Amino acid sequence: MTVYYSRAGMAALRAAKQALRTEIKRRVAALSDGEKQRQSLVVSQKLFKHPKYVSSERIAVFLSMDDEVRTKEIIKHVFKLGKSCFIPRYKSNSSHMDMLKLNSLQDIETLPLTSWNIRQPAEDDNSREEALATGGLDLILMPGLGFDQLGKRLGRGKGFYDTYLERCIRHPKGKPYTIALAFKEQLCQEIPVDDNDVLIDEVLYENDE
């Protein structure tokens, strides 16, 4: 269903998103490093058994920031299984992002640090395969600030993943399966969204199962 917002409605939506970002950041900041690590391992183990992960050959993984589920063990596991690993390169002055191939776990250490304190291939690094220029992607592991059970995601407001997923949809392979990785403190009753927000397929987090 398409929802059209008036200008006032869009301003209210932006304000609601911003308030929720502040609240979720507060919740996650209250977690100790040990707790973040513990939940990250629980989420990683759930992912490793997930049928979509097991069957996927080409996987995009984000390099985690301090307020995100740690992905280092996941990247290790991707290489251990001989799958292809792609990581984001964000363009700071736009909403454009590419998914570039990572050659090895050690390769990460050679990448320059951005102003967000995450590593990514340099702007002039044209030697790496971009996922959509070749075989597309089977699975994208999604970061975000907040998620709900209906697949709505609250990003950081830049639109990188929404824009990239639109490009994936136009690729001959079609849209890859999307799994968000979350601390349970990032789960919300409902995330406010607009037409540009692409729904995700599933959220993995520590629950009581």
Binding residue numbers:
17-21, 63, 68, 153-161
120 Cβ neighbours under 8 A, 6+ residues apart:
63, 87, 88, 89, 90, 111, 112, 114
What is the chain's Cα-based Rg?
17
The single residue listed with the structure tokens 């301003």 is 11
Give CA torsion, residues 64, 66, 77, 119, to 10 deg: 40
Binding residue numbers for substrate: 63, 68
3-state SS class at 202: strand
CA 165 to chain centre: 11
Q: Which two tokens stand for residue 174?
A: 């079609």
Binding residue numbers for ATP: 17-21, 153-161
Q: Which two tokens stand for residue 49?
A: 């058994």
Please give the Cα distance from 151 to 163 (Å, whole number).
Answer: 17
Q: Do 81 and 58 touch, CB atoms closer than 8 A? A: no
